[in-house]
Amino acid sequence: MTLYTFLTVHAPAPHTMASALAAALGAQTEDVDVAGEVTGRTDDRNWDAPVLCTHHLVAGDLALAWDVSVSDGVTSPPSEADAAARLAARLRTTVLYPAPGARPSAYWAVGPDGRVARARLLEGEEEPPVLVVDAVEAPMEHLPTARVEVLTELSPEERQEGRGV
């Protein structure tokens, strides 16, 4: 099983999310089940779908959080970075995904134009969660209030590879 976590600046309709996920993951749209996180309501989900996406609203600089699980029945699912880039292009929005091995606030942001930049995400205590993109390493069209600066959250390996600069 492959798991993805995405945050998007915009909140597309569920049928649009399903279509975009299918295209990004190399699946058929009918193999993707998308549902909002609703406490106690699970009877209308297709739990046998190869791709399950549960989403919930967030506030602040971002609109939607996506939790996606892909069964082993989907052959060769892309990396989280590739899937995020495909979603960003298809949905014409900025998509964030967690940076592995880094601080919880460290994310990658990919814009609809394919630009990738490191991002620092701050989360408030409110409900729904208020997510603020405090800083990015390159200007991002959909994140105009984020400061542009070098982020220290990068691991030494990421710095050496020149990522996010």
CA 16 to chain centre: 15
Residue 165: the pLDDT is 39
Among the listed ranges 73-77, 129-133, 143-147, which one has the minimum average pLDDT value?
Answer: 73-77
pLDDT at 92 over 80: yes
Q: Name, in order, each residue with C-beta under 8 angstroms of 116's C-beta and a sequence gap of 6 or more.
A: 81, 85, 108, 109, 110, 138, 163, 164
Single pTM value for the model: 0.86
What's the number of CA atoms in the CB half-sphere (13 Å) around residue 53? Answer: 26
E strand segments, the chain: 2-8, 32-36, 51-57, 59-60, 64-70, 95-98, 106-110, 116-123, 130-136, 147-148
Where are the chain's structural domains? Answer: 2-38+46-161
**Rounded distance, CA 70 to CA 51, Å?**
5
pLDDT at 159 over 70: no
Closest CA to 61 of 126, 125, 122, 138: 122
